[in-house]
Structure 1
């Protein structure tokens, strides 16, 4: 099934209702048309149970895949038959994985990522249930974005406490998953920002990457909204730039870090007030959950932003 806009096309496929004997061949056929040519195997007793959603835009392709334990292999024959025009950056969200290639075998787990050249033979396997999102970047853009002529070996990127990579990866995952659910009518700005994130994730940090830093900062704010010590200095430190540089990033969009934090807290509070499941929660509890230290400050800010008090909003 596909959805088409002027510049973006989404497709999706699942083996859930496919007869057991047809699951692997149909999965391979769909991958050949939507990603790359490969073969797939599984030892699971119920066969391959997997689903994916894809978004193709003018420059980038986004994919989300979830499934049970399985292995995919890309051989020299696959490469000759269907050469890859892109380099996939796979961000593993759930499970454990290995990547076997001519230079050895890489292992990684949820939170980590791998960038590889799909025109070199490989076996990519998952020993558990898995979920990953993939950002595919055109091969022609790789030298421009990294300063390297090509990708000679797979690059494994590992998450860790305090590692800016973790924040960049979270921002990329959120952006990709949102775009897969609601494709942008004009994807140029999103593609630009995701190319910035690609550079940041793979270790390139030029000061010009405002789009990538903005996405990372906004994702950081959403993830830490309830914390009283959320501040510009903390955000800047954890996404790997100076506080002054962070200020310039927000100034480029005619706002400040403080205004962004307040606006995000107010949106979160408004969503909670409208949630039927939270009707028994007090306004003060909702204010605290959205990160407001003072109920009075919350009420004043809410009325200034929305033209009514929190209680009036809940009644409406």
Structure 2
């Protein structure tokens, strides 16, 4: 996927702020902006369309913003906004509530209601955030139930909040790693995580549909597995205990995905091993050491699992990919020989 990028850096300093305001006027986040850097407003916005959810990764000079009822009438405002602070401190006010969000925290508000915001950063630094724009009908939660959460502060450093923040950061940091055909599915996973996070902060999680809770739990379990692949003791009991569910419930979670938890762990470990075996920078590292790094402590078991998945031995796989890398690097050197003068 390729994001649409708006960057004021290539523009004349005197034009930057005005053109930033023109860009902002074409989004549902139209605001009246004040900043001490209007004479040289360095800012960048990267827009990524994930179907029902649009992501915008912002980086800009410190500013204050006000969204009035008149400005709301001039924009398509039937949506929510969820923001993850990446750098600086964000402050959001809406309906008499205020959320002060340092890096890693999350806030949420309704674009159809007046609001105020400020985003500050250290001197000579730029504020940064990721914004998710979510249409009302894309979020399966009663609108009236969400009012207590507007302009609230939610942690993005633990639990489901951390999983959501990490998910948004990963996608917006490397959108080129994903295919355009995956956009709708990626947006759906993001919406499930947002819905579950908001549900956790409501009085009752029963407002969150059962299927949404299941998919969010699956995403949490998968993230946990990826973080602990190097632990040879990783097993269904450990994973179930970490998520306060029974082993039976864990197995049912993966049955719906037409796989098993054991197969998921194995496939993720093999994927990491393939990556390392094909990496020229790790060419002097033994195959057994690479396998052990990702939880395969038994050499024979690793070889059998690898051959079953790849139809070749780990050594053959490594030799083939390292030779391909050598040929590519050699060709690149011939095209762009190093200068010796």
Q: Give TM-score scaled by structure 2 length.
A: 0.77
Q: Which of 87, 112, 122 pairs up with 2:116?
A: 122
Larger radius of gyration: 2
1:125-167 deviations in Å (ceiling 9; x for gaps): 132444332222212344xx22342643323211455x34323
- Listed as ranges, the matches of 1:243-262 within 5 Å are 243-262=247-266
Q: Where does residue 17 of structure 1 map in the other structure?
A: 10
Query: Secondary structure in 1 aligned to 2:83?
Result: strand
Contact persistence 2:52–2:138 (CA under 8 A): no
Aligned to 2:329: none
Structure 2: gaps (5+ residues): 321-341
* Residue of structure 1 equivalent to 2:54: 61
TM-score by structure 1 length? Answer: 0.82
Figure out how many residues of one structure are paired with residues of the other and give that number: 306
Q: Which one of 117, 134, 137 corresponds to residue 137 of structure 1?
A: 134
1:98 is aligned to 2:102: no
SS in 2 for 1:260: helix
Rate the CA distance shift 1:39–1:244 in 2: closer, same or farther, 3 A.
farther
**SS of equivalent to 2:132:** strand
CA-to-aligned-CA distance 1:189-240 (integer Å, 9 cap, x gap) = 3343332212111124543223333333323322332234433344445456
Deviation for aligned residue 1:187? 4.2
Matching residue of 1:297:
301
How many Å separate the matches in 2 of 1:184 and 1:246?
Answer: 31
Q: Does 1:156 align with 2:150?
A: no
Aligned residue in 2 for 1:6: none
Is contact 2:98–2:152 with CA below 8 Å preserved after alignment?
no
Counterpart of 2:82 in structure 1 is: 89
Structure having the larger proportion of residues in helix: 2
Check the 8 A contact 2:48/2:172 in 1, yes or no. Answer: no
The worse-fitting range, judged by mean Cα deviation, of 282-291 and 238-247 is 238-247
Gaps of 5+ in 1: 4-9
Pick which of 122-131 and 81-90 moved more: 122-131
What value does the CA root-mean-square deviation take over the aligned residues?
A: 3.0
Aligned to 1:36: 29
Q: Distance in 1 between matches of 2:13 and 2:63?
A: 15
Does 2:172 correspond to 1:146? no
- 1:78 matched residue in structure 2: 71
Which deviates more, 234-243 or 26-35? 234-243
Q: Name whichever of 25-34 and 183-192 sits farther off.
A: 183-192
Match of 1:53, SS? strand
The runs of at least 4 consecutive aligned structure 1 residues that moved more than 6 Å come to: none
40-49 or 15-24, which deviates more: 40-49
